[in-house]
Structure 1
C-alpha cells in the first residue's frame, strides 16, 4: 500500500503542475479576445468554478461559491461583455491541436441534448435526444471530439436550430441569433466543424459517427476531405454487394458464414475486457467524389457475444484496411460519450440555464475549456507516471483527477456564515420580486 500511496503522491504533484501549465496556457491564448481585463479575470474564475464540488452549476450557485456578492459579474460575462467567443474557441482548438501534434487523431462527431422548460431558450423545441431517451423539449448541440490512443477531448460545438426556430424572426431577435446563422442540418454542421479542424492543422485520417450522420452526402464530403470513415447505420440501410445487387444491411449479413466471425477485444471495463464478435463484407461505394479512386468499402457487423444483438457500420478507407483497424476506429467513437459524461458531470455543460445565443455560446465555451484542460492534464500525468505505475493500480481517471485538483489547486467554495446569510437573503428577495412580476403579468393578461 505504501508503494501505491507514493505513486499517487507523485501523480498528484505532476497533475498539479500540469494543471497550472495547461490552465495558464488556455487563459493565455484567449486573453486578447477580451476588451477589458475585468471580464478576462471573471472568465478564469468561471472556468475554475465549473469544476468545484457543487450540486448544480449556474450563475447563482457559481457566484456564491466563488465569493461574489451577486451573480451579476458572471451574467454580464455571459451575455453583454465585449468578448469574441468565436475567436476564443478557435484559439482553444489550436491549443489542443498543438498539444496533440505528435499523435494521430480520429475526428468523432455526436450530438447531445439538454432538457428545457420553454421554447424561449435559443434553439429549444420538441426534438429527439439520446440523452433524454426520446423526443422532448430540449436544446441539441453537435460536438466534435479528437480521440487519440491516449486522449479524448472536445474541440468544437455547434448549436442546432430546428427549421421552424431558424425561420422565426421574432424569436431570433429576442435570443440575439446573428443574421449569418441560418438553418443547417446536423450532418452539415458536422462537416463544417471537421473541415475547420483540418484547416487548423489537426493530424487526422479517420472520421467516426453514428447513424444520424450516415447519409450519402456527408460521406461524400468526408471523402472529399481525404478522410476514411466508420459510420453506424441502421439494419435497414441499403448497400450494394460486389455483384451489383441491392440489400438491406441485415440481409447482406446472412452471407457471413459462422467461421467468418472474429472475436476481438474492444476495451476494458469495470468487469474486465469487452469482447464482441465482428465480421465484414465487401460492398460497392456509392459516395465516390469525382476524380477519386473507389478505395476499400465494407460493411462491418458487430454482434454481442451473449445477447446476439447486432450493430452495423459502413466503412471506407482510401487504401487497404484490416478488420482490426476498422474495429479500433469504431471503438474510438464511443469515447465521445465518456467526454460528454465528463463535461456534464464535472464541468456543467448541461446546467447553464441560459436562454440567449451569446450566453449559450459562452457557457458551452467555458465548459469546453474546463473539460479540455482536464483531459490534457490527465494525459500529461498518465504519460509521465505510466511506466512506473504498480500493476495493481489502474491509470488515473478524470473523476480522481478532479478530486485531487479540488484539494490541491481549485478554490474552496465560500461557505462562511455571513456570506451564506447574505446569499439566502439575496435569493429570497429576488424570488419574491420575480413572483410579484409574474402575478402582475397574469393579472394584466386576465383583464378584459
Structure 2
C-alpha cells in the first residue's frame, strides 16, 4: 500500500483502500462491499462504495506502481507475457460491458462481462499485471449506456487482440524485460503476431486444427493435414510439468512453415530477410487419447523444441492465476456496475493477489533449503496470513445484529421502489423509465 499511497488525494480514501485489500484476503464465503464491510466492522457498505465509485483516486497510476514492484521482483528472470480472457456472469445489461457473448468461464454464450488479462510468468512466479474490460461493439456505440456507466470518452471499441497488444506494449514500456508472448486461439491473428514481432518478442499462439499455414514448398494447408505427414518416429515425448498424479508428459512434433506476419518495415525486403527467425508449427499429442493441439510459433533467432514447449506450458499458468484471484481475492465477485467501480475493484483484487504472489516468491529460496518440503504455495500462504497476520472478521453480537437490521431495511426499501417502478410503468401515459428510476433512487 505504500507503493500506491501517492495515488490518493485524501488519507481517508487511502486507509479505506488498505482495509479493502485486507478484507479481500479474509476468509469469507463471498466478497462484495456488503460482506467486506461487515467483516471489517463498518456500520454499512458506504465507505467501500464511495472508494470504488467516487473517491479521488488515480487507479491507472496505482496499477503502474504495482507493475514496478513486479518488475523489480522479476528482474533477471526469463519472463513470458501471457494473455487470456475470463468472464463473469451478469443478470443485467446495465453492468458496464455486459452483453450476450462467449466466455469459457461460464461454459458458453451468456450474459456476462469479459475482461482480457495480461500476466507475467516466470519459472517461479505468476502474477497478473494488467487488465482491460472488453466492450462489445453495440455497447461501445451506445452513448446513453456509456454515459450512465461513466465510460471515458477516449475508450472506444477494440478487439481482444488489440487490447492484448496495447497491454503488452505498455508493460514493455514500463520496463518489463520479456522475451516471449503466449496466447490461445483468440490471439492468433496476423495483426497481433505482427505487433509482437515489431516489439521484438517471440510468440507461441494456439490455432485451430483447420487453421491454414504455408509449408516450406509454398503450399497452403490445414494444420492437421500438415502434421499428419509427421512419421511416428518423429514425435518426441517431453515432460510438461507435475500434477497431483505425477509427471505430465505429451508427445510433440514441429514442422517449418513460412511466416506471414513480417512487420511493415521489412515487407519490401527480399524473401530471405523477411523470413528471418524461426517460424514453425508445433503439435502436442496426448499420449493416451491421441488428441492433438496446434500452435503457431516464431522466434527471433534459432530456438529448440524444448524452449517452445516450455513457453507453451507457461501459458497454462494464467489459468492457475485466475483460480487464485477468483477463489482468494474476489476478482469475479465485485457486483459493480460502473466503469470506475469495475476498474478499481479489479485493481484491488490484483493488488491482493500480488501480495500473495510476491510474498511466496520472496520465500522461495528458503523453501529450496528444505528439500523435504515442497515450495510454499499461495493457498498455504494465505492460510498462514489468516492465522498469524490478518485480523479476524468482525463477528461481535451488536455488530452482527446491526448489520442484519440494516440489510433487512435496505432490502425492504429496494422492494418498495421496485414495486413502485412497475406500477408507474404500467399506468397509461406514465413517465419514462429514466424518470421512474430517478424517483426510486431518490426514495431509497
TM-score range, shorter chain: over 0.9
Query: Which of 75, 98, 108 is matched with 1:124 structurally?
Result: 98
Query: Which of 399, 404, 411 is matched with 1:431 structurally?
Result: 411
Q: 2:88, 2:112 within 8 Å by CA — same for their partners in 1?
A: yes
- Number of aligned residue pairs: give it: 420
Hey, what's the Cα distance between the residues in 1 that align with 2:103 and 2:308?
27
Question: CA offset at residue 326 of structure 1?
Answer: 0.2
1:208-227 aligned within 5 A: 208-227=182-201
Query: Which of 265, 269, 276 is matched with 2:239 structurally?
Result: 265
Q: 1:106, 1:147 within 8 Å by CA — same for their partners in 2?
A: yes
| 1:371-390 deviation per Cα after TM superposition (whole angstroms, max 9, x unaligned) | 01100101112222212241
Structure 1 unaligned spans of 5+: 1-26
Q: Does 1:377 align with 2:381?
A: no
Q: 2:367, 2:375 within 8 Å by CA — same for their partners in 1?
A: no
Hey, what's the Cα distance between the residues in 2 that align with 1:394 and 1:85?
36
Question: CA offset at residue 298 of structure 1?
Answer: 0.3
Range with greater deviation from structure 2 (376-385 or 337-346): 376-385
Match of 2:82 in 1: 108
Q: Does 1:442 align with 2:422?
A: yes
Question: CA offset at residue 270 of structure 1?
Answer: 0.3
Match of 1:24 in 2: none
Query: Which of 146, 149, 160 is matched with 1:186 structurally?
Result: 160
Hey, what's the Cα distance between the residues in 1 that align with 2:43 and 2:251?
58
Hey, what's the Cα distance between the residues in 1 that align with 2:216 and 2:204?
19
Match of 2:25 in 1: 51
Query: Which of 327, 346, 361 is matched with 2:343 structurally?
Result: 361
TM-score normalised by L of structure 1: 0.93
Q: Which has the higher contact order (CA 8 A, sep 6+)?
A: 1
Hey, what's the Cα distance between the residues in 1 that align with 2:369 and 2:292?
38
Q: 1:124, 1:138 within 8 Å by CA — same for their partners in 2?
A: yes
Query: Which of 36, 40, 46 is matched with 2:10 structurally?
Result: 36
Structure 2 unaligned spans of 5+: 267-272, 429-444
Match of 1:143 in 2: 117
Query: Which of 351, 359, 377 is matched with 1:397 structurally?
Result: 377
Q: 1:232, 1:312 within 8 Å by CA — same for their partners in 2?
A: yes
Q: Does 1:421 align with 2:401?
A: yes
Q: Does 1:205 align with 2:179?
A: yes
SS of equivalent to 1:255:
coil
Hey, what's the Cα distance between the residues in 1 that align with 2:76 and 2:253?
32
SS of equivalent to 2:369:
helix
Range with greater deviation from structure 2 (289-298 or 29-38): 289-298
Question: CA offset at residue 394 of structure 1?
Answer: 2.4
| 1:33-57 deviation per Cα after TM superposition (whole angstroms, max 9, x unaligned) | 1000001000000011001110100
Hey, what's the Cα distance between the residues in 1 that align with 2:10 and 2:201?
41
Match of 1:15 in 2: none
Question: CA offset at residue 76 of structure 1?
Answer: 0.3
Question: CA offset at residue 184 of structure 1?
Answer: 0.4
Q: 1:293, 1:318 within 8 Å by CA — same for their partners in 2?
A: no
TM-score normalised by L of structure 2: 0.94
Match of 1:96 in 2: 70
Hey, what's the Cα distance between the residues in 2 that align with 1:240 and 1:433?
64
Question: CA offset at residue 208 of structure 1?
Answer: 0.3
Range with greater deviation from structure 2 (306-315 or 291-300): 291-300
